[in-house]
């Protein structure tokens, strides 16, 4: 699994101008200047079905009888790109794709200037390794999607990512373990690592977390040497954890409404 996204840097310039005509006031014109990295990402984006990169991966998956989860950029209808996670099955077919919902806008890193946000959560898909739910990078900070996938019995959740070094050092592992514990699912998080350019470096530490929150894999290299990890997925072990630690949520909308109505009646 690999997420090819680099959060783009951009600069927005605002100018005030007078609009002529009665009833019209001042308005602001916005000029967005993309960082060269964002421009490169937009220029390199290709449709998922015809991308040479994707066609190569599909061929490799088919010839090796291996499923592949990969992050790519695809063109959007508004001139921006979509940050997409794809699941290629062992036959080389694109079984599912998910467009990143939460965009990384932090200080000078403005993903939303060049990336269009996704519109929906994609239901878990049945694969050779179990029921898989797809997410991407910054989605990790928002548990609502993973909990929605848990309610649909996702057994594995994937987060191809490119965390910055400061945020990765502080939050990467604890967030992955939290998502695994609360969903009682395996969490796979392939992470870009190393220097992209003079301004950008990714944290790395690709990880696999089990449904109890135990770290099964942590690739600690700096990106100068390729690394690969192999891990066993035990879905029976996951079921045992669910039985031993049942997580029945009490915060669903219907339950809250019932409690409110009961409170009004008692009062």
The C-alpha R_g of the chain, in whole angstroms, comes to 21
Question: Within the chain, what is the greatest distance between any pair of CA atoms?
Answer: 71
Tokens of 2: 């690999």
Tokens of 243: 């039985």
Query: Do residues 97 and 122 touch, judged by C-beta distance below 8 A?
Result: yes
Q: Between β-strands 207-209 and 81-88, what pairing exists: parallel, antiparallel or unpaired?
A: unpaired
pLDDT tens across 133-143, in order? 999 999 999 99
Question: Among 102, 85, 87, which residue's Cα sits nearest to residue 3?
Answer: 85
Question: Which of 38-52, 87-101, 125-139 is the least confident region?
Answer: 38-52
pLDDT tens across 159-188, in order? 999 999 999 999 999 999 999 999 999 999
pLDDT tens across 115-129, in order? 999 999 999 999 999
Question: Among 173, 139, 174, 171, which residue's Cα sits nearest to residue 157?
Answer: 139
């Amino acid at each position: 699994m690999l997420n090819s996204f680099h959060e783009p840097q951009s600069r927005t310039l605002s100018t005030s101008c007078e609009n002529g005509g009665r009833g019209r006031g001042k308005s602001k014109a916005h000029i967005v200047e993309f960082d060269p990295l964002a421009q490169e990402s937009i220029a390199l984006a290709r449709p998922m079905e015809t991308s040479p990169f994707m066609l190569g991966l599909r061929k490799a998956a088919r010839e090796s009888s291996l499923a592949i989860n990969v992050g790519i950029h695809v063109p959007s209808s508004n001139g921006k790109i979509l940050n997409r996670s794809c699941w290629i099955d062992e036959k080389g077919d694109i079984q599912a794709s998910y467009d990143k919902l939460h965009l990384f806008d932090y200080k000078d890193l403005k993903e939303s200037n060049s990336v269009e946000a996704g519109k929906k959560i994609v239901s878990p898909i049945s694969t050779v390794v179990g029921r898989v739910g797809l997410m991407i990078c910054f989605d990790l900070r928002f548990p609502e999607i993973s909990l929605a996938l848990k309610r649909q019995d996702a057994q594995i959740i994937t987060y191809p990512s490119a965390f910055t070094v400061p945020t990765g050092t502080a939050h990467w592992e604890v967030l992955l373990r939290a998502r695994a514990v609360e969903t009682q699912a395996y969490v796979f998080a392939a992470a870009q690592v190393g220097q992209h350019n003079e301004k950008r470096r990714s944290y790395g530490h690709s990880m696999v977390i089990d449904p109890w929150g135990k770290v099964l894999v942590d690739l600690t290299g700096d990106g100068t040497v390729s690394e690969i990890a192999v891990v066993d997925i035990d879905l029976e072990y996951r079921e045992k954890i669910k039985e031993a630690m049942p997580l029945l949520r009490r915060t669903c909308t219907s339950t809250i409404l019932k409690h409110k109505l009961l409170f009004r009646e008692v009062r």
